[in-house]
Structure 1
Amino acid sequence: MTHFKSTILLLALLFCIGCKNEDKSEANKETKGTQALSKEALLDTVQKQTLKYFWEYAEPNSGMARERYHPDGVYPKDDAHVVTTGGTGFGLMAIVAGMEREFIPRDSAIARLDKIANFLDKAPRFHGVWPHWLNGETGDVQAFSDKDNGGDLVETSFLAQGFLVVREYLKNGNEREKEVAAKYDKLWKGIEWEWYTNNKDGLYWHWSPDYQWEMDFMIEGYNECLITYIMAASSPDHAIEADAYHDGWARSGNIVSDKEAYGIPLILKHNTSGDKAGPLFWAHYSYLGLNPKGLVDIYANYWDLNVNHTKINYQYAQENPNDFETYTENSWGLTASYTRNEDDGIGYAAHSPDSDRGVVSPTGAISSIPYTPEISLAAMRYFFEEQNDLLWGPAGFYDAFSLEGEDWVAPKYLAIDQGPQVVMIENYRSGLIWDLFMGAPEVQKGLDKLGFNISN
C-alpha cells in the first residue's frame, strides 16, 4: 500500500491495525481463559465442537459424513461430495452421544438419522455390502482405488457397528424413533457376511462385480479389523462359521505374541509393524461399540491389549529416539492422519513408532482416553490450552501438527479421526455407546460363537 501516501489513509490504516491488535488481544484473553475450564467443561467443549464434523459439516444431500472436511473449501477433484461409509458409522454413534448429552436437538437428530438410512437403502450394495466411498450428491460408487469399486467389508463393519447402536438407542422410543430403528435393523440384517469368505476360512476385504476377488485381501489380525469378524459372526441370517475367525483372523493361533516393548507385553502380533505396536487407530475403530473391558478369548485380554498398546505409543514418544520437538510429556499420539511432507505440504500416513515423522495426531491421545485417562486428559488440555491458536478449529482439533522448525498444522479434518474422539470420550464418561452395542442380543450370540468370555 505504499502508493497511498495521504495522511488520512495512513491514519486509517493505523486505526485498522489497532483494531486488529485489539481483536487479537481479546482472542488471546479468551484462549487464556480456557485454562480455567474444569475437567467436565473441557470434555463437554471438545466433544460438542468435534461433533460438528458430523452435524454441521456433513454432506447435505445424504446427511452422511464427508470423507474429509476442509474449512477453506479447497478440495482435490470432487472430494467435497465424497462420503465415507465407515466414517459415517462413527458419526452415527457420535450423533447418539450428542443426543444423549443434548448437544443437538433430538427431533433434528432423528430426522438426520432417518435421512442417512434412506440414502443408504438406495445406495449401491454388493451382496449387502456398501463400498468404501459414495458420492453424496448422486449416490453413485466413488472408487477408492482402481479395482476397489465394489463392496468394502471392513468399512461396512464400522458402519454396521453404528447401525446397532442407533437401533438399540431408538427401539423403545416414540413411534417415529421406532420407525427409524427398524430401518437400521433392516440395513444391518441385509449384509451378506458369509459371501465374503469366498468359500474359505477367513473374510475377504473386497469384492467387485467388475474384478471379483482380484484384490485377494484376506482380513488377518492384528489390526483395526476385529469388529469385522464380530459383526460377521453376529449376523442373524448371514453369519460366518467360527473357523473363519480362528483360522483366518487369528492365523490358527499365530496371532499371539510373546514380545514386549518398554517392558509392556504386546499380547498380539501387530501387522506391518515392528516390536513397538502399530498406529493407535487399531485400539479405537473396533472398540467404539465393542467394549474391551473384561473381553477375553483364547488369544488375548482385549482391555490389556489396548491399554498396553496405548502405553507403548506414549512411551515411544517419551523415549523420542529421533529427538523431535513435537513430543513432550503431554504431546503424543501416533496414528493415521494427515501428515507433513518434506516441502511442508500435506500428505497422509499411518504414523506409528515404525513410521515416525514427528507428527502428532490429536485423535491418537484423545480417543485413547478410556485406556489412559490421566495422560489422555493431560494431552487434551495441552492441545486446547497451550496449542489453541494452532490446533483449535470449527470442528474440534485439526487433524495433525508438528513443531519441528516452524510450527505446522494440517488445518483439515477426516471423519475417521473426528468420530472416535466423540465416541471414546462418551465411553470414558458414561459407557453409553459400549452399553448400547453390547446390549444387542445378536452381538452377545456372536461373541459366544467365537469363544469370547465377558467378565465384569
Structure 2
Amino acid sequence: MRHGRATARLSDEALLDDVQRRTFRYFWDFADPASGMARDRFGGNDGWLVSGGSGMGAMAIVTAVTRGWITRAEAVERLHRMLRFLEHADSFHGAFPHFLTPEGRAIRFGRKDDGADIVETALLMQGLIAARAFFDGGGNSEPWLRGRIDGLFDAVEWNWFTREGREAYYWHWSPNHGFAMNHEILGWNECLIALVLAAGSARDPISPAVYHNGFTQSRTFLNGRDHAANEHILLPLGPDGGGPLFFAHYSFLGLDPRGLRDPYADYLAQNEAHVRINQAYCVRNPKGYVGYGPDCWGLTASDNHEGYSAHAPDNDLGVIAPTAAISSLPYAPDLVMPALRHFHDDLGDRIYGELGFVDAFNETVGWAAKTHLAIDQGPIIVMIENHRTSLLWDLVMSDATVRRGLGRLGFTSPHLATA
C-alpha cells in the first residue's frame, strides 16, 4: 500500500472536526432519499437499508445540529421522514428486521432470519431515544416527533423475545419459522443495550432474571484473567483477547460507561481494558503483518480482502478497521490520537475521502476497501462527540426508560443518582 500525506497537518481539534463532518455525510448525503434511512453500505448493497445503522444516523443528526452543520428544522424534517418510513415498514411484534428494502419490506438475512432482530431494533431505538431527548422544543414538529418515537418504542413487545417467559433472551423471531434459529443472547458482546431497553419498557418489560440467569451466565461472560502478554491488563468480561472492538462501542453509544457498574463489572474499566488489549496485541503483532504498530491498530467487524469478518486477536487476518481505534477515543485518547494521525496524515490518500475513512485496509496484501458501512461509520462520529462533550451519553442517560432498565437490572451510575 502506497503511503502519502493526505493534507497539511491539522490541529487535533480541527482533525476531529473534519473526521466527524465527513463521516456525517454518510448519513446525510448518502441516506436513502425517500426515507432518510441509512444505507447498509456504500459500494455494494446500496439499496439495503439498515435498522441499527439508522439509529446511529439519528445520533449523527443530533451531533450535526449541535455542531452547526445542519439546522434544527432540517434535522426534524429528516427524522420525521425516517419515522414515517418506520411506521409503515415491516415489523414483527413491534421489532424491525436487520435489513429493509426502500419500500419497507424485510430482506431475508439468512434462510430462517426473515423477521425480527431485537438487537438491531435496540440499536435503532437507542438513536431515537437520543433524538427524543434532544428535540424537546414546542410548536408542532418537535412534540409530534417525540410522540412518534414513543409510538414506535411502545409497539415493541420486548418480552416476546423471552419465548414465553424463559429466563433467556432470543435474538430473532420469524413469521415463517418462529424461534427456530434459537439464537440466545449470551456472553459479553454488543447486546447490553437490548437488555436495558427491554427491562425498562413500561408496557412489556423483561424480568431481571433474563439478564442475571441468562445473558450473564455464558462461559464467555466473566473473564477476570490477567492478560500477561498484554502488559498485565485485567479484563473483567468477555473472551480472552476481548473480542472485536465493537463490543466496546455499540451499546455505549448511548450508555455512559463512566461510573456504570453492576455486580459483574465496572464498564469503563471493561472498555478501557478491551481497547488496551486490542492495541497491545497489534503492537506485539504475533503474525507479522505489515503496518501493525503503536499507531496502526484496531481489530473489529469490517469488510476485508476476502469478504467480511469479525476481526479480533483470535481472528486476525491483517485487517485494520479505522472505526475500531477511532471509536475508542473516550477510552484511550493517548492510544487513539496517534492512530488517527497515522490513518489521516500518512495513509489518507488511500483510505480517507469525502465520506471519511473507508471501512478497512490490509497493508500486507496491499488492499484498501472501497466501501463504507453504516455500523462502522456511526460509532466514529458518535464516540468522538461523546469524548468531546458527552452529548449522546447525557441525552440517552436522561431517558426514563433507560434509567428504569438500568435500575431494574441492578446497575449504579452517577446519572441514576440524579434521577
Is the pair's TM-score, using the shorter chain for normalization, greater than 0.5? yes
Q: Compared with structure 1, are the counterparts of its residues 174 and 219 closer, same or farther at alpha carbon in structure 2 (3 Å cutoff)?
A: same
C-alpha separation in 2, matches of 1:41 and 1:433? 21
* Matching residue within 123, 126, 129 for 2:92: 126
> What's the counterpart of residue 237 of structure 2?
268
Q: Does 1:164 align with 2:129?
A: yes
C-alpha separation in 2, matches of 1:377 and 1:154? 30
> What's the counterpart of residue 44 of structure 1?
17
Output aligned runs, 1:123-202, within 5 Å.
Answer: 123-136=89-102, 138-198=103-163, 199-202=165-168
> What's the counterpart of residue 22 of structure 1?
none
> What's the counterpart of residue 397 of structure 2?
438
> What's the counterpart of residue 380 of structure 2?
421
Question: Post-superposition shift, 1:106?
Answer: 2.3
Does the Cα contact within 8 Å between 2:186 and 2:218 map onto a contact in 1?
Answer: no
C-alpha separation in 2, matches of 1:123 and 1:428? 34
Bigger radius of gyration among the two: 1
Secondary structure (helix, strand or coil) at the match of 1:295 reads coil
> What's the counterpart of residue 275 of structure 2?
310
* Residue range with higher mean Cα deviation, 411-420 or 180-189: 180-189
Secondary structure (helix, strand or coil) at the match of 2:263 reads coil
Letter of the 2:410 partner, please give it. Answer: G
Q: Does 1:352 align with 2:312?
A: yes
The one-character-per-residue Cα deviations of 1:413-454 (angstroms, maximum 9, x if unpaired) are 110000000000000000000000000022111111100011
C-alpha separation in 2, matches of 1:395 and 1:216? 38
Question: Post-superposition shift, 1:43?
Answer: 0.6
* Matching residue within 255, 264, 271 for 2:221: 255
Letter of the 2:275 partner, please give it. Answer: T
> What's the counterpart of residue 5 of structure 1?
none
Question: Post-superposition shift, 1:32?
Answer: 4.0
> What's the counterpart of residue 11 of structure 1?
none
C-alpha separation in 1, matches of 2:170 and 2:160? 9
Output aligned runs, 1:18-417, within 5 Å.
Answer: 31-33=6-8, 35=9, 37-70=10-43, 75=44, 79-136=45-102, 138-198=103-163, 199-251=165-217, 255-261=221-227, 262=230, 263-270=232-239, 275-341=240-306, 347-405=307-365, 407-417=366-376
C-alpha separation in 2, matches of 1:265 and 1:206? 33
What is the root-mean-square deviation in Å for CA atoms of aligned residues?
A: 1.5
C-alpha separation in 2, matches of 1:194 and 1:390? 46
Secondary structure (helix, strand or coil) at the match of 1:257 reads strand
Does the Cα contact within 8 Å between 1:253 and 1:299 map onto a contact in 2?
Answer: no
Count of paired positions: 408
Question: Post-superposition shift, 1:254?
Answer: 7.7
Question: Post-superposition shift, 1:144?
Answer: 0.9
Question: Post-superposition shift, 1:122?
Answer: 0.6
With normalisation by structure 1, the TM-score equals 0.87
Does the Cα contact within 8 Å between 1:280 and 1:364 map onto a contact in 2?
Answer: yes
Question: Post-superposition shift, 1:174?
Answer: 4.0
Q: Which runs of 5+ in 1 are unaligned?
A: 1-27, 342-346
Secondary structure (helix, strand or coil) at the match of 2:24 reads helix
Identity of aligned residues (%): 43
Question: Post-superposition shift, 1:301?
Answer: 0.4
